[in-house]
Amino acid sequence: MPRKTRRRTDPYPLPHGGEGPGVRGLVAVALAALCGTALGSGVTYLALRPALQTARSAPPAPNSGGSGKALVAGNAAFDRKDWPTAVADYTQAIAGGLDNPDVRTDLGTAYRNLRQPQKALEQYQAAQREDPAHENSLLNQGIVYAFDLGDAARATALWRQYLQRFPHGQHVADVKHFLAAAQAHPRPERLRP
């Protein structure tokens, strides 16, 4: 006598009775989101690495007192990816007079990693106002618009501006890659670093 086979059912069925994406589909979506986030963070780190090295090698300004210590503590927190502490320390350093484009850019990146893209943009824009020749703050504005806010048009405009202002900049190859990806996938949700 043949055995009865039980029909496998989806453990997460759709409310209307249709079949849902299943556990495998949900896991695939979660993994894709995780990989995209990790890749975006990696690109941001690569973009900021030269600025980090410069900031770390520069000694705190004389008579900077607590703000110099706050900057050192902010850099240490940044290195260990303790974003809330980095934000607090960089904010204290800026309030104490150590306001420069590198500190603003690091503060912006800490905000970005805390999923606060508007605050990140404010810091990158402040860095550009302080020093229009600061490459990373302009590059990172495009990254936030593209990957965090889904505004590929604004990101593309900023990256084209980067190429005009810094034709031999440190991140020209990255920017060209981002522009090619934006052209190939004009829908923001498809644009990935």
Question: For 35-45, how does the pLDDT look when each residue is reduced to its tens digit (9 = 90+)?
Answer: 566 566 666 76
For a pLDDT cut of 70, what percent of the chain falls above it?
Answer: 62
d(CA 76, CA 187): 37
Give the domain ranges of the chain: 48-131, 132-193
Residue, of 95 and 33, whose pLDDT is higher = 95
Burial of 17 (0-12, 13-18, 19+ CB in 10 A): exposed
Compute the distance between CA of residue 176 and CA of residue 51 in angstroms, rounded to an integer.
20
Superfamily of domain 48-131: Tetratricopeptide repeat domain (1.25.40.10)
Under a CB-based contact definition with an 8 Å cutoff, are residues 160 and 151 in contact? no
Please name the residue ranges forming H helices in 80-150: 83-95, 101-113, 117-130, 135-143
Which of the two residues, 166 and 17, has the higher pLDDT score?
166
C-beta separation of 12 from 26 below 8 A? yes
